[in-house]
């Protein structure tokens, strides 16, 4: 398989999600998500595809918890890397601009996880959509992409929360099998004291 530029953020967050939810299975997954490979940035598309396939087939119902947790970790780590000034500034923007800023961070997260991705987003009123085209999805069989869809939905929802936007993110699929993230913005969120 072609190396799609798998980012450390994705690999580290998946590793941590597995460690949290299924610690007794971590050694099995480290055959592909080796700590040395993570540190050196040598995890490619094939090992990631193996992990996603095993997560989808072998781990229900924990697989949904693993990828949701991994998505939240990825969003938390990405947002922690944003400057304190920018975090504060984004949270005080009007709701529409705040939502756009959160979608911009979501786009950055997606491109950080798989560098050869193409991301399109649309925001209209309280609805938004994110379309992701990635070498990862092109190379994997459809069932193996399900964990990544949930990972991205969880990550984007968490980024919206960090930007003080109350929103629901879900995965939608059209009749031809193309999928996207559908976002419904409900309103502003109170920023926690610990995040100010």
In a domain, 162, yes or no: yes
Q: What is the mean pLDDT of residues 134-161?
A: 84
3 state SS of 152: helix
Distance of alpha carbon 44 from alpha carbon 51, whole angstroms: 11
The continuous run of DSSP H or E covering 81 comes out as none
154 Cβ contact list (under 8 Å, min separation 6): 67, 68, 69, 70, 71, 72, 75, 169
Q: For position 4, what pLDDT does the model report?
A: 53
Count Cβ atoms within 10 A of the Cβ of residue 49 and give its class: 0-12 exposed, 13-18 middle, 19 or more buried. buried
Residues 15/33, Cβ–Cβ less than 8 Å:
yes
Q: For position 39, what pLDDT does the model report?
A: 66
CATH number for the domain harbouring residue 129: 3.30.1380.20
In a domain, 2, yes or no: no
In a domain, 20, yes or no: yes
Whether residue 191 is predicted with pLDDT greater than 70 in this model: the reply is no
In a domain, 3, yes or no: no
Q: What is the mean pLDDT of residues 118-142?
A: 83
Q: For the segment 18-71, what is each residue's pLDDT rounded down to a tens digit?
A: 999 989 988 998 888 877 766 666 677 778 888 888 888 877 777 889 999 999
* Domain with 170 in it: 8-195
Q: For position 73, what pLDDT does the model report?
A: 97
Distances (CA, A) of 163 to 30, 71, 111, 158, 167: 33, 16, 19, 9, 11
Q: For position 2, what pLDDT does the model report?
A: 40
Q: For position 50, what pLDDT does the model report?
A: 84
Q: For the segment 73-123, what is each residue's pLDDT rounded down to a tens digit?
A: 999 999 999 999 999 999 999 999 999 999 999 999 999 988 878 898 888
In a domain, 1, yes or no: no
In a domain, 87, yes or no: yes
Q: For position 43, what pLDDT does the model report?
A: 75
77 Cβ contact list (under 8 Å, min separation 6): 9, 12, 13
For the chain, what is the domain count?
1
Q: For position 40, what pLDDT does the model report?
A: 66
In a domain, 104, yes or no: yes
In a domain, 173, yes or no: yes
């Amino acid at each position: 398989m072609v190396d799609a530029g798998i980012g450390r953020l994705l690999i580290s967050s998946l590793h941590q999600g597995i460690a949290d939810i299924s610690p007794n299975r971590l050694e099995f997954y480290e055959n592909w998500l080796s700590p040395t490979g993570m540190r050196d940035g040598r995890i490619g598309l094939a090992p990631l595809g193996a992990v996603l396939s095993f997560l989808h087939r072998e781990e229900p119902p924990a697989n949904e918890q693993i990828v949701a947790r991994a998505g939240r970790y990825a969003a938390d780590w990405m947002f922690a890397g944003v400057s304190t000034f920018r975090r504060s500034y984004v949270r005080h923007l009007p709701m529409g601009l705040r939502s756009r800023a959160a979608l911009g961070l979501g786009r950055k997260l997606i491109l950080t996880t798989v560098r050869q991705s193409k991301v399109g987003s649309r925001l209209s009123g309280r609805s938004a959509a994110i379309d992701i085209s990635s070498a990862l999805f092109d190379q994997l069989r459809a069932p193996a992409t399900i964990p990544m869809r949930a990972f991205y939905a969880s990550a984007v929802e968490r980024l919206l929360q960090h930007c003080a936007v109350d929103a629901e993110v879900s995965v939608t699929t059209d009749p031809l099998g193309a999928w996207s993230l559908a976002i419904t913005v409900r309103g502003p969120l109170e920023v926690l004291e610990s995040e100010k």
